Structure 1
């Protein structure tokens, strides 16, 4: 039985532990304010946006100390996704700890003092940003889907309208002072 509505939780304002694993919960997850909640597991759901989730949790569950997000796209785990590695996961940990400063335990590991210090200094910069795909709803992509990136200016792409410049060069290179030439003897030429 899977229930996506968390409406009934608001009557349990003194709730301390909440396990919401395998509930098809997505980015629209809305928890009521639970000031005493210290343990929350959201494993194996459909959460893809990490920052909005963490901002919501910081607001509604201020006493949170134990959090697990394994099995969600928002949690870059190399066991779930082959493209992710331990560095991606560590950056994720720093970002989560930057947003939720009271956490003592994240996913399967205790939060270390070094992680907490690193999160304080660099956690804000560890946000994982995904580029929009070609079918995404970004303004540039929707304005001109045929437009592809090119390092050349638009005018130089048209072969019939080129702007070449002809002229004389005053400097002629003979190669006498080249570093490579000092090692070549006349009989090797």
Structure 2
């Protein structure tokens, strides 16, 4: 395994590629992890990290210029959830022949809001049912998936298949929102609220007993505490 350091980056080939983007070639170096790319000073439109030993797609500094990332033939099985924060303009990502195995592992790609071209060919995940619709749903700006154009009917199908399911999952995570009618107290809430209120009132009464100025006042407050005859503020109720 080789560390991606400043020396390796400085001697890597750099050129204008076929689409006239400035690219740095870091292919085939047995790199194990993405690191130290800050030394590039964000000078590249494209970075080629193909044919290495990378296991996780993370470790990027903020690269606001980077638009294309080629990272085929690695061992990637995890993707950072903050990828889009550091690569805000990335529009092309080639992850061909990696080790992504389930749909949930692809969710972090949704943070790449500019992404329009994605290849996941030769990953196990592509063999799963509804893989293509799932990716299209997660990446609404996608135009090309696995070098096949995303069709309008696929977008419609993806929304129909996954939008309601996602809404249900979000509701389960956050809890169903309750609708309150003015003047109406839900039955499930009222007992708990009363119990808390009573506890606070008893606490106030005990404090009042400690601060009482006369024996008569102490006696009255203690009697109220014992019988529960006190108002909402914790004061003893006047006897009739």
Residue in 1 that maps onto 2:102: 49
- In 1, are the aligned partners of 2:70 and 2:94 still within 8 Å (CA)? yes
Q: 1:5 aligns with which of 23, 27, 33?
A: 33
Gaps in structure 1 of 5+ consecutive residues: 77-83, 128-189
By how many angstroms is 1:25 displaced? Answer: 1.2
Q: Match of 2:74, SS?
A: coil
By how many angstroms is 1:102 displaced? Answer: 0.8
By how many angstroms is 1:124 displaced? Answer: 5.0
CA RMSD of aligned residues (A): 2.3
Structure 1 74/124 Cα, relative in aligned 2: closer, same or farther at 3 Å? farther
Gaps in structure 2 of 5+ consecutive residues: 1-28, 38-59, 167-240
TM-score by length of 2: 0.42
TM-score by length of 1: 0.53
* Structure richer in strand, relative to its length: 2
Moved over 4 A (4+): 124-127
CA distance in 2, matches of 1:70, 1:37: 19
Q: 1:110 aligns with which of 149, 156, 179?
A: 149
CA distance in 1, matches of 2:135, 2:110: 10
Please tell me whether Structure 1 or Structure 2 has the larger radius of gyration of its CA atoms.
2
Q: How many residues align?
A: 112
Q: Match of 1:67, SS?
A: strand
Higher RCO (CA < 8 A, seq sep 6+):
1
After superposition, residues 92-171 of structure 1 pair within 5 angstroms as 92-123=131-162
* Structure richer in helix, relative to its length: 2
